[in-house]
Amino acid sequence: MIGVFLGFGVGVWRFHLRFYETLDALIFSLLPWLAVFFLSDSIVNLKLSSLIASALVFGLVGLYWYLDNHYKNFSWYRSGKVGFAGLTTAAAFFLVRAALAIPFGYVLSFSGKFEALISAITAFIFFLLIFNLSRQV
């Protein structure tokens, strides 16, 4: 993951790639990897929770696809800029993660009781990025 974020940073900074377009592509490219990770964990360890998580991530891929094809038709998203689908999908992922971390204590990481708070803050940051992107003209 450190390599992914370093590559993202270098791509935006050194190669002057657009931040929101690159972040949109990064989020969409990480979703299948995350789904396969959960699916392999459910097969190897016979965990129902990993199978459900894999299904949720595949559902997020569908959400991304839908939003990417229809975001320009949303009247409340006036800017029509690229990046909306990825940011919304990432925000939904972290909202679901926060909601699941409250009763179960942990979801993906080992941060324990702070898992829900970290995920909720991350989702809020993604929603702020969506708000910022929608105001750009």
Full-model pTM: 0.86
Give the DSSP letter string of 19-75. Answer: HHHHHHHHHHHHHHHHHHHHHHHHHHH--HHHHHHHHHHHHHHHHHHHHHHHGGG-T
Q: How far apart are CA 44 and CA 49, in angstroms?
A: 13
Domain borders along the chain are: 19-135
Q: What is the full DSSP assignment across 63-119?
A: HHHHHHHHGGG-TT--S--TTHHHHHHHHHHHHHHHHHHHHHS-SSSS-GGGHHHHH
Contact predicate 123/91, CB 8 Å? yes
Predicted pLDDT at 108? 59
Q: What is the pLDDT of residue 137?
A: 64
What tens digit of pLDDT does each residue of 53-86 get?
899 999 999 999 999 998 888 877 777 788 899 9
Two tokens at 114? 């702070």
Q: What is the mean pLDDT of each run of 10 residues along the chain (137 residues)?
A: 92 91 93 93 89 93 92 77 91 91 67 80 94 81
Nearest to 101 by CA among 51, 55, 49: 49
